[in-house]
């Protein structure tokens, strides 16, 4: 039987509901249950693909090509279960579906309303595409009290009734702030938040309280009394030093015990050795390397969530701490010098969009090439490295990308045609922007004898993409003349997917996003190898 755990949030946003959901998923998994995590996002966009990274943070791409919320990245990193399109829905998608049905006449003359039509569509989504999992942990985005969230709360309230206590559970995550002036932790915001939930008919079964100090026993009893709960159902979630310590911390506070008790499940305590090993390694590394990430959205680090995690994973694999210098590429432009790159052990240019800052990235790629500093170019970072090489080493001075406007030497050009299985996708400059990039997992064939072949330990890989432009294979000669090896190609041989420099200790560019598949227990081989190269470089300094 599949049981549903609904996670809501109260008091403030940014409490880490996604992490809490992921950690609970990991705990249930460690008890031997199969889990799947999904997220309901109340905003009106159809997906976050068209939102600015400053608004939304990273867009997490699934194998099946959905552009989703970054919390799905946490779900995948914590449970190892590959996320799918059917794990994230937004109000934009729900309404599109309801309106399409109305236009088709499916509602047989009824007045279409939020209850029941929108709530039915939400419930349908929550229960769709299941594969007999023991648990579905379903996170509701936003904060209780948001107008956009109301249909979702109503839908999960109805689901709670339909599934019964044995099939559903409500977990509410709140904040118990410490007021320095009063010298006390305050429970009132949590009381209000639970009241708000109760007013829409939801009685939480567990309240998880984020706090920076230990919640005294009497405060927990008070919370239990006011929130209509047993004291053991008030779980404290003290701040921890690394996100990978969250599952053990929650277990220590009895969260998974309470969940099992609710469902009447009697299992052994979870085996958390893997988590303990990961946190031990993060807490006591043997050395440190510094990576300079030259990007554009460096003022909002949520934009690079998976990237930051993948670097940490590469550090775990090499038993070192990875310190990241987040550098805005514009500082290198004009007369800007590259001093900020002089002390780093590796340079990484991540994915990005648009012309602003691109010349600074090209300059950073040149610095890495000329100074033999390990260089990792991801998507946009690969494109910029290719432009740099062809401009400065093959004499194609006007080399550029059509992403920045008309271009006489389009080394990087709009992708107008590519194959997905046995179907051909076509695009032109007038195509809509939403959901039309080359998205999701595609196979890539790696040349035997190349550096990446050794790193992956094989010649056939599948990685996730999210881009509209692509390195132009018509310039193969110029690229090779500039010393680049095209070591990974799409199976039909038309799309360069990986480049490397045989004359450099570690200079690799990939058109896909390897950071999306890296996990703390299973670091991505490219990140493991890049950090290893950075460690070697640090020994030379």
Angle (nearest 5°) at CA 230 between 196 and 127 = 60
Which parts of 254-395 are beta strand (E)?
Answer: 288-295, 321-328, 346-349, 375-378
Note whether 134 and 2 are within 8 A (CB): yes
Q: CB under 6 A: which stretch of 110-118, 194-202, 350-358, 523-531 binds ligand GLN?
A: 350-358
What x-and-dash track marks residues 403-442 binding ligand GLN by CB under 6 A?
Answer: x---------------------------------------
User: Cβ closer to ligand GLN: 251 or 464?
Assistant: 464
Tell me which of 95, 107, 353, 521 binds ligand GLN, using CB under 6 A: 353
Active-site annotation holder among 74, 262, 513, 524: 513
352 in contact with ligand GLN (CB under 6 A): yes
Distance CA 282, CA 313 (A): 9
User: Cβ closer to ligand GLN: 313 or 466?
Assistant: 466
Question: How many angstroms separate the Cα of 518 from the Cα of each of 48, 133, 183, 314, 353?
Answer: 21, 23, 42, 9, 23
Question: How many angstroms separate the Cα of 309 from the Cα of each of 210, 225, 500, 509?
Answer: 22, 39, 24, 19
**515 assigned to active site:** yes
In the complex, minimum distance from the CB of residue 383 to ligand GLN, in angstroms, rounded to a whole number: 6
Site residues (CB under 6 A) for ligand GLN, limited to 168-227: none
Residues 6+ apart with CB under 8 A from 172: 7, 8, 9, 10, 144, 193, 194, 197, 204, 206, 207, 208
Q: Could you tell me how many residues of this chain bind ligand GLN (CB under 6 A)?
A: 10
What x-and-dash track marks residues 378-397 binding ligand GLN by CB under 6 A?
Answer: -xx-----------------
Distance CA 86, CA 129 (A): 7
In the complex, minimum distance from the CB of residue 44 to ligand GLN, in angstroms, rounded to a whole number: 24
Tell me which of 304, 367, 469, 530 binds ligand GLN, using CB under 6 A: 469
In the complex, minimum distance from the CB of residue 442 to ligand GLN, in angstroms, rounded to a whole number: 14
User: Cβ closer to ligand GLN: 59 or 89?
Assistant: 59
- State the residue for tokens 């059509």: 402
User: Cβ closer to ligand GLN: 174 or 401?
Assistant: 401
In the complex, minimum distance from the CB of residue 469 to ligand GLN, in angstroms, rounded to a whole number: 3
User: Cβ closer to ligand GLN: 182 or 433?
Assistant: 433
Tell me which of 97, 186, 468, 519 binds ligand GLN, using CB under 6 A: 468
User: Cβ closer to ligand GLN: 53 or 149?
Assistant: 53
Angle (nearest 5°) at CA 146 between 142 and 151 = 90
User: Cβ closer to ligand GLN: 24 or 379?
Assistant: 379
Tell me which of 262, 363, 466, 504 binds ligand GLN, using CB under 6 A: 466
351 in contact with ligand GLN (CB under 6 A): yes
Active-site annotation holder among 313, 515, 524, 532: 515
Distance CA 277, CA 444 (A): 33
Residues 6+ apart with CB under 8 A from 212: 178, 238, 239
Q: Centre a 10 Å sphere on the Cβ of residue 32 and count the other Cβ atoms it contains.
A: 11
Note whether 444 and 470 are within 8 A (CB): no
314 half-sphere exposure, CB direction, 13 A CA radius: 31
Distance CA 531, CA 455 (A): 12
Q: CB under 6 A: which stretch of 60-68, 187-195, 271-279, 464-472 binds ligand GLN?
A: 464-472
User: Cβ closer to ligand GLN: 466 or 524?
Assistant: 466
In the complex, minimum distance from the CB of residue 12 to ligand GLN, in angstroms, rounded to a whole number: 31
**504 assigned to active site:** no
In the complex, minimum distance from the CB of residue 38 to ligand GLN, in angstroms, rounded to a whole number: 24
Count Cβ atoms within 10 A of the Cβ of residue 152 and give its class: 0-12 exposed, 13-18 middle, 19 or more buried. buried
Active-site annotation holder among 211, 281, 379, 444: 379
Distance CA 37, CA 25 (A): 7
Q: CB under 6 A: which stretch of 94-102, 450-458, 460-468, 497-505 binds ligand GLN?
A: 460-468
Catalytically active residues, by annotation? 379, 513, 515
Which spans of this chain sit near ligand GLN (rule: CB under 6 A)?
351-353, 379-380, 403, 466-469
């Amino acid at each position: 039987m599949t049981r549903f755990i609904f996670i809501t949030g109260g008091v403030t946003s940014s409490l880490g509901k996604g992490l809490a959901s992921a950690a609970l998923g990991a705990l249930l998994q460690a008890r031997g249950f199969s889990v799947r995590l999904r997220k309901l996002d109340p905003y009106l966009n159809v997906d976050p693909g068209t939102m600015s990274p400053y608004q939304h943070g990273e867009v997490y791409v699934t194998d099946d090509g959905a552009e989703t919320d970054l919390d799905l990245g946490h779900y995948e990193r914590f449970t190892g279960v590959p996320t799918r399109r059917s794990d994230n829905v937004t109000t934009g998608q729900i309404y599109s579906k309801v309106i399409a049905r109305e236009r088709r006449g499916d509602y047989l003359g009824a007045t279409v309303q939020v209850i029941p039509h929108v709530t039915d569509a939400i419930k349908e989504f929550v229960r769709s595409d299941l594969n007999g999992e023991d648990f579905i942990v379903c996170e509701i985005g936003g904060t209780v009290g948001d107008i956009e969230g109301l249909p979702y709360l109503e839908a999960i309230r109805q689901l709670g009734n339909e599934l019964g206590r044995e099939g559903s559970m409500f977990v509410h995550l709140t904040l118990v702030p410490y007021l320095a002036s009063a010298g006390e932790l305050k429970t009132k915001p949590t009381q209000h938040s639970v009241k708000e939930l109760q007013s829409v008919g939801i009685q939480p079964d567990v309240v998880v309280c984020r706090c920076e100090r230990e919640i005294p026993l009497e405060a927990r009893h008070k919370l239990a009394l006011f929130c209509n709960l047993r004291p053991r159902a008030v779980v404290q979630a003290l701040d921890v030093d690394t996100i990978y310590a969250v599952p053990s911390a929650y277990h220590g506070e009895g969260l998974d015990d309470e969940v099992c008790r609710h469902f009447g499940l009697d299992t052994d305590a979870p085996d958390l050795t893997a988590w303990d090993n990961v946190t031990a390694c993060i807490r006591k590394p043997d050395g440190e390397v510094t990576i300079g990430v030259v990007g554009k959205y460096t003022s909002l680090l949520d934009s690079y969530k998976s990237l930051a995690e993948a670097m940490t994973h590469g550090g775990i694999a090499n038993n070192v701490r990875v310190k990241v210098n987040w550098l805005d590429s514009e500082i290198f432009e004009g007369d800007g010098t590259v001093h900020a790159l002089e002390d780093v052990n590796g340079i990484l240019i991540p994915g990005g969009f648009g012309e602003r800052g691109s010349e600074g990235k090209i300059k950073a790629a040149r610095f890495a090439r000329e100074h033999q500093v390990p260089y990792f170019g991801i998507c946009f970072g690969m494109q910029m490295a290719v432009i740099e090489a062809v401009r400065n080493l093959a004499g194609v001075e006007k080399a550029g990308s059509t992403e920045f406007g008309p271009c006489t030497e389009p080394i990087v050009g709009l992708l107008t045609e590519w194959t997905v299985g046995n179907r051909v996708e076509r695009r032109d400059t007038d195509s809509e922007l939403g959901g039309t990039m080359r998205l999701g997992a595609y196979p890539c064939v790696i040349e035997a004898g190349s550096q990446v072949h050794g790193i992956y330990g094989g010649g056939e890989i599948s990685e996730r993409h999210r881009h509209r432009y692509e390195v132009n294979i018509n310039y193969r000669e110029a690229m090779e003349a500039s010393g680049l090896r095209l070591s990974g190609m799409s199976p039909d041989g038309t799309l360069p997917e990986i480049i490397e420099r045989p004359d450099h200790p570690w200079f690799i560019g990939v058109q896909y996003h390897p950071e999306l598949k890296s996990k703390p227990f299973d670091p991505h081989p490219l990140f493991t190898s890049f950090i290893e190269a950075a460690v070697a470089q640090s020994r030379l300094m």
